[in-house]
Amino acid sequence: MFDNVRVPEIKDEAAPVHAKSVTAGEVSASQYTPEERALILRVGVYVRMRWLVILGIVAAALIASLVFDISFSILPVSIICGAMVLYNLIMFRWTNSLKAEPTGIVLKKAERAANVQVLTDLVIFTILLHYTGGIENPFIFFYLAHTIAAGIVLPQTRAYQLATIAVSMITLLVFLEYAGVVSHVNLEGFVRPDRYENLGRVLAVLVALATLIYGSTYVTTAVLGELRRRQRDMVALKDKLLEKRAKELEQISAEVVKLEDERRSFARFLGVVAHDLQSPLVATQSVMSYILEGYTGEITYGQKDLLERAVRRIDGLLTLITDLLDIPRIETGQVSREMREISFNEVIKKSLEGLDNVAQQKGLTLKLELPQSSPLVYGASRRLQQVMTNLVSNAINYTNEGTVSVKVIDNENDARVEISDTGIGIKPEDMPRMFNDFFRGSNVTSKGTGLGLSISKRIVEAHGGKIWAESPDPETHKGSRFTFTIPKKGAAASKEK
């Protein structure tokens, strides 16, 4: 019951003190355990409190003698106060010197400082009490302050030892005075002089005081013991958590290595699959071309037509296989491994080689507009050519008359390519799905694999760029326009996917 009430109180008290002493400029406080830090703080609080107590005694003595006209000799009280000031100065230095002690040793030293202080305080207080009326003085209950403080600072058994010492001291003092061994100082005008001679009263006060002393010791040690236990638990928990995190990190890095291994073997696997799927088709293709070109003798028109059909189908299949195997390659970060510093204009020019012929055969004009100095980009040259080939051949495929124009714009942060055509355009309902796998426009008779645009998107995005389509072209109001951007070298770093 007490635990629940007292814990927050003690915490609240400790908090501002803690803040103060940190600003006071401790050098090594950070290396102490929380328990050590708390103990040093409490010993410091002792010293500060003692200044108040000295002031309190002086004030109480003055008020008692001047205001209430209680008679007791001021001299011993003054001497005791002077002694306390001296002793507290020593304690002040001792406490400060604790902060220079290394962790581990400091706990013992601080405990000793606390012991010495509590014990000395008890002795001084008992002497003070003797000169200010002994059992007559209601401040006799201030013994409690000591035992509470001891309960806070010291371990349980020590606190009980001190409580016992305190009780013994009062009892000794009171009985010495009662027996007349030590002369009793009567607070004249405050308490009747026969009071200390009344055994029943004396015993009642002593029992009440002893009960309070032990009771407060019990409460403080219970609460503080619990607090210390929690502190230790927290430290243990923190260590455990740290250990767990370290283990997790280890595990994760092992997993990363494993994933990288898996990625590599997957890439190898894809390589073998690609080769083994393509090889027979390539051989078949070559054999058919060989026949088609007449190396095995003249062939009829019908044979030629059929062979050409077969060649086209195998061409389509080869492209599909290449595209299908390309997707996992790109998705496992292949593109960033191919990246070099490249001249963008060169890439664009190279990608159009051969395509101008295709355009010409269709009666189309292929226009190219390049910036005077080529933008420098960090990119995968063949992959960007793949994107270009894809977009430009699409434009040529879906344009029956007019122009296909390629325009490269050198922006501050990126190189931007616009491929415009005057072709059939894209239906609005197709727009959102344009870059999906296996997408084919609803207004076109399907030719391709439906993977070209989705692969282009993956490649552009692996460079950290963007790709989009507009139809009709916002400038010519005809056909469609595809735009993609590639970050320039030094601009936004291209991230691996």
Q: Which residues bind another protein (CB under 8 A)?
A: 271, 274-275, 278-279, 281-287, 289-290, 293, 295, 314-315, 318, 322, 325-326, 329, 334, 337-338, 380-383
What stretch of H or E contains 466?
A: strand 466-470
The nearer residue to another protein, 293 or 298, going by C-beta atoms, is 293
The nearer residue to another protein, 10 or 288, going by C-beta atoms, is 288
Closest CA to 5 of 202, 222, 204, 152: 222
The nearer residue to another protein, 328 or 472, going by C-beta atoms, is 328
The nearer residue to another protein, 176 or 311, going by C-beta atoms, is 311
The nearer residue to another protein, 182 or 314, going by C-beta atoms, is 314
Q: How far is the CB of 369 from another protein (least distance, A)?
A: 28
Closest CA to 428 of 444, 440, 439, 442: 442
The nearer residue to another protein, 174 or 460, going by C-beta atoms, is 460
Q: How far is the CB of 416 from another protein (least distance, A)?
A: 23
- Using alpha carbons, list the distances in angstroms from residue 219 to 1, 4, 7, 370, 421: 10, 11, 11, 86, 89
> What DSSP letter does each residue of 296-361 carry, written as one string?
TS---HHHHHHHHHHHHHHHHHHHHHHHHHHHHHHHTTHHHHT-EEEEHHHHHHHHHTTHHHHHHH
The nearer residue to another protein, 213 or 352, going by C-beta atoms, is 352
Residues 6+ away with beta carbon under 8 Å from 314? 281, 284, 285, 288
Q: How far is the CB of 412 from another protein (least distance, A)?
A: 28
Closest CA to 88 of 117, 125, 129: 117
Cβ–Cβ < 8 Å for 152, 224: yes
Q: How far is the CB of 355 from another protein (least distance, A)?
A: 15
Q: How far is the CB of 388 from another protein (least distance, A)?
A: 14
Q: How far is the CB of 274 from another protein (least distance, A)?
A: 5
> What DSSP letter does each residue of 102-152 carry, written as one string?
PTTHHHHHHHHHHHHHHHHHHHHHHHHHHHTTGGG-GGGGGHHHHHHHHHH
Q: How far is the CB of 287 from another protein (least distance, A)?
A: 6
